[in-house]
Chain A
Amino acid sequence: MGTTASQLGKDLLSEYQELTFLTKQEILLAHKRFSELLSKEDRNLTSVPMEKVLSLPELKSNPFRKRICHVFSTSDMKDGSLTFEDFLDLLSAFSDSATLEIKSHYAFRIFDFDDDGTLDGGDLEKLVNCLTGETEDTRLTPEEMRQLISNILEESDIDKDGTVNLSEFQHVISRSPDFVSSFKIVL
């Protein structure tokens, strides 16, 4: 239900202000950038395909960009396309004033590569590879990866089921003071 009009209505603007953590200027700027993404395409489209979203400079080199699009997308085809409201949800979760709970919730979903609700060894390995770089010379050796994953599970898997669930994840996040300031994307 994005707007294709060049201006956002006043009540729509105030509604977005209440439903997200964004300020009025941020919502207007988001609308402008989203319209720019749409402008080269058909005017009647309400959602932007994933490739166009990934062309934004803030997301272009982020190693988690595809996961971010998949998490915030509400399209039925699961292709990662975003409507304007999905885009606002994205910016709201990544904004300055979003709470720790929201950020940790979405971070968990972004890191859950297989969408099964827990972070198991495969998810953790993919996560570490995203963090260090995908090329051969930037990956950790299999030895180091094994040591790292076993250390992570030992530290954060409290109920010892071999996976990290949302509460355990949030427990780790709550002990890190830098998370809120680093989990931030500002247009």
Chain B
Amino acid sequence: MEFSELQRQSSTIAHGYHGAQQLVRLRSKSVVSNQNGPQFHWGSPPSEGGEEGDSGPPKDLRERPMTMRLKRAIREVQQMRVPVVTSWQSWKRSKAKSLSRFRADAGGVMSYVALWRKALHKIGGHFGGGVQSYFMFLRFLVVLNFLSFLLIAGFILIPSIVFRSTSTSNMTVDDTGPEVCNVYDPNLQGLVVFYQYFLDLLSGTGFMEYSYMFYGYYNNTVAESSGFHYNLPLAYLLTSVFYFAFCLICIITRMGSALRVAVATGSGAAGSYSKMVFTGWDYGCQGDRATKLKQKSIHYQLQVDLEEERLQKKALSLTLGQTVGLCSLRIFLMLVSLALIGGAFFGIFKATVFSQAQVGAEGILGLFWVYLPSIVITTGNFVVPLMCDQIALFERYSPSTTIIMALFRSVFLRMISLGVLLFTLWSQITCFKDSPKCELCQYNNKEYPCWETRVGQEMYKLALFDFLITIAMLILVEFPRRLFVDHYSCALTRWVGRQEFLVPPNVLGLVYGQTVVWTGALFCPLLPLINTLKFFILFYCKKVTLFSNCRPAVKTFRSTTSTIFFLVVLLFGWGLALVAMIYSLAQIHPSMSCGPFRSLTMMWSIVPNTFYTLSLTTQDFIFYMGSQAFSIPLFIFSCVVLCYVAALAAVYGKSVDLLKAQFKLEGRDKQFLVKQIEELSREMGVPTRDQLDTFDTGAAN
């Protein structure tokens, strides 16, 4: 009895197990097929997304990974169910539909208008995302400079031209200072030697000095005619300030989307192998050459990472003595590189002082003295990173750390060298050592009768020299190198090889050029226009050299993180220029002999002066806005909003962690259940899954 019961039990269990096995297999298959095929509930009402207008259901359909046939069938079913809606809702839906269609058409038009779209696509296909991100950054800077030029032209240049030609202006002459401070003679010679024009063009003196190019030409006109009131000095100041704010907004907006993605996805260190393998291929690669190069670079990357992992495992097993030795070596080499950078700074300081002392020298030698700071800066920027690279070979960091260290050293060097130049200029102008030169006019009026123009000229020279050096490097180094390597094959050419397009140094060059423009824009209003032309020509030159002379780098850059890095470095430059501008506006006495601020003690004082001419009610209102009664509640309110947003972010982070843990638990549950079933089947003497499989396949055959 018991035995038959047992048999029945075992048979039911066996049947149940068989059924359960089938179920598990079916479920795993269906889970698999469900994972591969999308879920669609045919019975679901179409008004799920109906609240958002008609963008709901169609977008839903597009996002489902189904074949076109299935999607069309679903759409027909959805459309057959005409939901009962009011005329207001149907009107809203049709309007939303036409709006989305309009947006799609506008997007199509914009993509035609976008500058250099095809060129960027071609570059990305042949050289990868890293090089393409450099060119996209260059395009962003061209557009930024052009828009800035339009801003400056609209508010400063055109009114100036108009006022000068119609002379409806009244210039206020300042009689408060001593007479000698008002003297400014920009050497308007009649006939000059012909090559003097060329030298003047390169250094911004002569015919260029007293022109719309530089600060000294603008007058402090306040135009009043029949109800139209235009205060040019105020416009000059506010446009400069707004120009900085505008550039900041553009950079932050561009960084915003990339940063959001980077923060959401967290650190890139974890999961790097699976990421590289699953997302490493660039489907935009076209042509056999580009594909082979991409494959080679992926191969190299994988090998390097596997090698690094092996080295790390070995490094963990270093003894204490070896670790101490390595650390002390690294500290020593860091001090050596800092000493190199410090030496470069000292050289720039001395060169600037010397160059300023040589003002007035004639001819080519004079031009050389005038360009000496730029020459020293460029030499330093070229030589010091090379030496730091050699030092880095001994530091024995991992390859990725080495690249980051080299980049930070270059950034530091470039930005601070520019800062040293500005510092020496300012110390000359305002006589830091309290020499008697500055007592009379609060600035060094003997050597700098119009010091703003001189600073503008320095910045103009820096920008121009940078451009000339880049073009010279292209013509004199890169093209010959390619010809040399292609036509002669010896050990030397094989070691040197073709030029590799290194993205970080090129980007630093762009950031340096842009920082120079920002620093000089207050003193040389046409500098953004010059920079637009410079970057525009640079795009084509770099593209030509990329395609004819360069081979793609084997070690490529990640495009999203590199975009963020470029913009962060650009922000450093912006910050440096901002400090320079604030110092000029608020600390130094403007020249009394030239420029729109000649009657003021400080450039910023035009704003309070104008403020007090406003009506009393406006003044009271603005005072109220700045008073405590308004600002403290505003501050408290923004704190509350900040706390709310921070709490929301914390909650999202926690829910992501919870979901991850749940996912892990479910996997473990599945494993546990399958193990249970196998144990149970073993106890009952029921054939295991493998045996069943062979039985099935045997039966099928």
Contacts and interface: CB of A to CB of B under 8 A. Distances in A.
Interface of A: 1, 15, 17-21, 23-25, 57-58, 61-64, 74, 85-86, 88-89, 92-94, 99, 101-102, 105-107, 109, 111, 116-118, 124, 127-128, 131-133, 138, 140, 144, 147-148, 151-152, 155-156, 158-161, 164-167, 169, 171-179, 181-186
Contacts of B287: 57, 61
Contact of B279 (A89, A158, A176): A176
Contacts of B261: 177
24 contacts: A1-B69, A19-B68, A20-B62, A64-B281, A74-B69, A105-B65, A111-B278, A131-B277, A133-B292, A140-B303, A147-B306, A152-B277, A155-B271, A155-B274, A160-B671, A167-B663, A174-B265, A175-B271, A178-B129, A178-B560, A179-B279, A181-B560, A182-B281, A182-B282
B224 interface: no
Interface stretch (B30-38, B523-531, B608-616): B30-38
Contacts of A57: 286-287
Contacts of A144: 302-303, 306
B582 to A, nearest CB: 36
B306 A127 contact: no
A181 B69 CA distance: 28
A118 B32 contact: yes
A92 B67 CA distance: 11
B437 interface: no
B93 to A, nearest CB: 14
A176 B72 CA distance: 32
A20 B448 CA distance: 66
Contacts of B446: none
B667 A86 contact: no
A131 B280 contact: yes
Contacts of B299: 131-133, 138, 140
B273 A155 contact: yes
Closest A-B pairs by Cβ, 5 of them: A159-B667, A117-B32, A85-B68, A166-B35, A61-B291
Interface of B: 29, 32-33, 35-36, 58, 61-63, 65, 67-69, 71-72, 75, 104-105, 107-108, 121, 129, 258, 261-262, 265-266, 268, 270-275, 277-288, 290-292, 295-296, 298-299, 302-303, 306, 309, 558-561, 663-664, 666-668, 670-671
Contacts of A172: 271, 274-275, 278-279
A111 B36 CA distance: 13
Contacts of B561: 177
Given A61-B291, A147-B306, A89 B62 contact: no
Given A132-B298, A161-B671, A74 B284 contact: no
Given A19-B61, A152-B273, A182-B284, 15 more contacts: A15-B75, A18-B75, A23-B104, A23-B107, A24-B108, A63-B291, A118-B32, A138-B299, A140-B303, A147-B309, A156-B271, A159-B666, A160-B671, A178-B558, A182-B282
A117 B302 contact: no
A177 B560 contact: yes
A102 B666 CA distance: 24
Contacts of B108: 23-25
A175 B275 contact: yes
B571 to A, nearest CB: 20
B5 to A, nearest CB: 37
A96 to B, nearest CB: 9
A interface: dominant SS: helix
Contact of A182 (B266, B268, B283, B666): B283
Contacts of B306: 144, 147-148
B311 to A, nearest CB: 13
A137 B319 CA distance: 37
Contacts of A182: 129, 279, 281-284
A21 B67 CA distance: 13
Nearest to A88: B68
Given A18-B58, A177-B265, A177-B560, A61 B283 contact: no
Contact of A61 (B65, B277, B288): B288
A101 B667 CA distance: 22
B67, B104, B279 interface centre (most CB from chain A within 10 Å): B279
B298 A131 contact: yes
A166 B36 contact: yes
B278 A159 contact: no
B69 A184 contact: no
Contacts of A111: 278
A93 B35 CA distance: 17
Nearest to A104: B278
Contacts of A155: 270-274
A135 to B, nearest CB: 10
A179 B271 CA distance: 14
B523 to A, nearest CB: 40
A31 to B, nearest CB: 14
A101 B60 CA distance: 12
A176 B69 contact: no
Given A86-B68, A117-B32, A175-B266, A18 B283 contact: no
A152 B274 contact: yes
A23 B106 CA distance: 11
A57 to B, nearest CB: 6
Contacts of A74: 67, 69
B284 A186 contact: yes
B663 A61 contact: no
Contacts of B29: 117
B63 A24 contact: no
Nearest to A18: B58
A160 B674 CA distance: 13
Contacts of A118: 32
A18 B671 contact: no
Contacts of A140: 299, 302-303
A133 B63 contact: no
A85 B70 CA distance: 11
Contacts of A159: 663-664, 666-668, 670-671
A40 to B, nearest CB: 22
A169 to B, nearest CB: 7
Contacts of A147: 306, 309
Contacts of A178: 129, 279, 558-560
